Amino acid sequence: MSDKANQKTEYSAEFSRSMQDPEGFWRDQAKQLPWFKFPEQILKTDAQGIGYWFADGEMNTAYMALDHHVENGRGDQLALLYDSPVTDTKTQYTYKQLTECVARTAGMLAKLGVNRGDRVIIYMPMIPEAVIAMLAVARLGAIHSVVFGGFAAPELAVRIDDAKPKVILSASCGIEVKRRIEYKPLLDHALELATHQPDCCVIYQRRESIAPLKAGRDHDWATLLAAAEPVGCTPVKGSDPLYILYTSGTTGKPKGVVRENGGHAVALKYSMSAIYDTAPGEVFFASSDVGWVVGHSYIVYGPLLQGCTTIVYEGKPVMTPDAGALWRLCEEYGVKSLFTAPTAFRAVKKEDPDGALMHRYNLGTLKNIFSAGERLDPPTQEWLMKTSGKPVIDHWWQTETGWAITANPCGIETMPVKLGSSTVPTPGFNVQILNENGQPVPRGVQGYIAIQLPLPPSCLNRIWGDDKRFSQSYLNFFPGYYASGDGGYIDADGYVFVMGRVDDVINVAGHRLSTGEMEEVIANHAAVAECAVIARDDDLKGQVPMGLVVLKGGVTLSEDEVQQQLVSLIRAQIGAITCYKDTVVVARLPKTRSGKTLRNTLSRLVNGKEYTVPSTIDDMAVIPEIADKLRARGFIA
């Protein structure tokens, strides 16, 4: 690239073409992939404006990510590196070796009756077999639904009943720093709670824990795999689902985001170059979990579609063994692009404020550090840029989109960083800021962030088994637009600033969790009359939930006892991932005369922000009472 002006022209031209000629633009991107039958119809839209990309193309995502590279001479290149400080284990797979493992695992599933369109739930820790399982399901043209291993049995049961899997793949245990998490009892309990029952479960036995198997239902992974024969790739349509990934909804019931094969492959392949500036043969490291969308997109599919080397890391940014863990991996494996959540960087900053551990390692191959999953706060961004000497790039996306809505398009043009901004709309995303009436607002004015339809490839176009909910959740609020659920503004230079959620979904360490779901659990406690769960800002995790509860008359439990019991309930019903720990018992909750609890007002109060008590409140004395209680507990000054 030449001078700065020409660089800006390159982004502008790329973005403009994606807006003015979306079919031509995405046809060119689709040509970068090996289709069995190239799509004739690039884009089809329905009456609501929802787009269906590459529907009549024939392909297989696992073929594009594996076999194709082997056939084109990259078989001996490293595809996957497994690094587990919690088990002191390291393993590596070339593209040829990974393809062979996936083909045999697909054969194992085929013998269990898994066919094109069947669902397979994967409930596993961060081990190579989790990635192999995902690719094996894709190889058969089936649909995987990965459930994060930290979720409790009721959460797993809900997903089992919604996806109705033919087979469940799991492991005997996961390992959290020095704590072992037994997966098999959680799976057994989930199946007791679930209405739907799979044909069978296949358990990968880890040496750290051997799980008992239930005769007639459970199978040993190693035994089945030893008897399996490798199978080829099943052709699917571009519009066929690749996976279902559940995301928290405001009703408490998770939404099954459906990702189609064709648009997903095209968008992720494009993003590896346009956003991450990472070429075939280079090492890409996303420090996440395959249970989240980042793990799907940028541990598994994106890097492999691009022909990169990806890393599966079973460890933490701190404590395994220290805050130098990420930098050790970057040096050891020659990482070019590092991607993790702001929570990880805040944890590293807390443990290694001067960067002493970071500076032990040679980061010469590391070009860019990317962050997403929650807003990257400016102090952390400044610290990391200063300490590492590397560009630190925020970008914004959602489970629903599968890739970045706004980003600094490093492979097209590296734009100046503005602290607090995720930079500019990615080519393909027509980002608008709207007021409550659905009208665009001027630059610099905050509003609802929406994306004009049709959405670009990879974005959801339905909720699994619930078309009505898809429309209600995303389309009805602003006709002609996808409502992101986030608020923010666009400045005079076209930079997007995402300020946070506008519904009851909060972001805990990059994980979207429903406060409504937590309220349902708390409300079921025998001592609780009513409750509200709000988001409290947290220096490390971004946000954490706090419960405000009103107790029933005659309850003799102390506030500490109530808090301990509610923590246990939330952990049992949803999981420790919620980071729920603070409960404040109040005499009453502030409500409007119509009975609506003023959660936004409470959240602003707890977080020390200015707030206005609406004139519709039923009792003006409630807020000062709660403020006094929060002050006495040390939550506010």
Please write the tens of the pLDDT for every residue from 443-492.
Answer: 998 889 999 999 999 999 999 999 999 999 999 999 999 999 888 899 99
Ranges 221-235, 489-503, 511-525: which has the least confidence: 511-525
Residue at token pair 């995902």 = 134
Nearest to 447 by CA among 489, 509, 400: 489
Question: In which band, very low, low, confident or very high, does the pLDDT at 618 lie, cut at 50, 70 and 90?
Answer: low
Ranges 174-178, 301-305, 494-498: which has the least confidence: 174-178
**pLDDT confidence of residue 373:** 83
Per the CB < 8 A criterion, the answer to whether 377 and 385 are in contact is no
Nearest to 499 by CA among 441, 579, 444, 439: 444
Per the CB < 8 A criterion, the answer to whether 366 and 342 are in contact is no
With a CB cutoff of 8 Å and minimum separation 6, the contacts of 409 are 11, 14, 274, 275, 415, 423, 424, 426, 427
Label residue 492 exposed, middle or buried (CB < 10 Å: 0-12, 13-18, 19+). exposed
CA distances from 293 to 158, 162, 497 (A): 19, 19, 22
CA distances from 492 to 8, 445, 497 (A): 15, 10, 11
Whole-number Å distance between alpha carbons of 632 and 586: 12
Question: In which band, very low, low, confident or very high, does the pLDDT at 6 lie, cut at 50, 70 and 90?
Answer: very low
Asked if the model's pLDDT at residue 630 lies above 70, the reply is yes
Mean pLDDT across the chain: 92
Question: In which band, very low, low, confident or very high, does the pLDDT at 346 lie, cut at 50, 70 and 90?
Answer: confident
Whole-number Å distance between alpha carbons of 268 and 65: 11
Q: Once rounded to an integer, what is the mean pLDDT over residues 249-261? A: 80
Asked if the model's pLDDT at residue 1 lies above 60, the reply is no
Q: What's the residue count for the chain?
A: 637
**pLDDT confidence of residue 332:** 98
- Identify the top-confidence range among 2-6, 315-319, 500-504, 509-513: 315-319
**pLDDT confidence of residue 612:** 73
Give the three-state DSSP class for 567.
helix
Q: Once rounded to an integer, what is the mean pLDDT over residues 494-507? A: 80
Q: What are phi and psi of 508, to 5 degrees?
A: -105, 110
Give the three-state DSSP class for 296.
helix
Beta strands 431-434 and 424-425: pairing type?
A: unpaired
pLDDT in tens, 580-616: 999 999 998 887 654 567 887 888 899 988 887 765 5
Whole-number Å distance between alpha carbons of 487 and 504: 13
Label residue 19 exposed, middle or buried (CB < 10 Å: 0-12, 13-18, 19+). middle
Set out the domains of the chain in order of their start, with CATH numbers.
Answer: 17-315+395-484 (3.40.50.12780), 505-632 (3.30.300.30)
Helix or strand run (H / E) with residue 71 = none
Ranges 262-276, 385-399, 575-589: which has the least confidence: 575-589
Q: Which two tokens stand for residue 580?
A: 């729920």
272 Ramachandran zone, left/alpha/beta (phi>0; psi -120 to 50): alpha
Helix or strand run (H / E) with residue 18 = helix 4-20
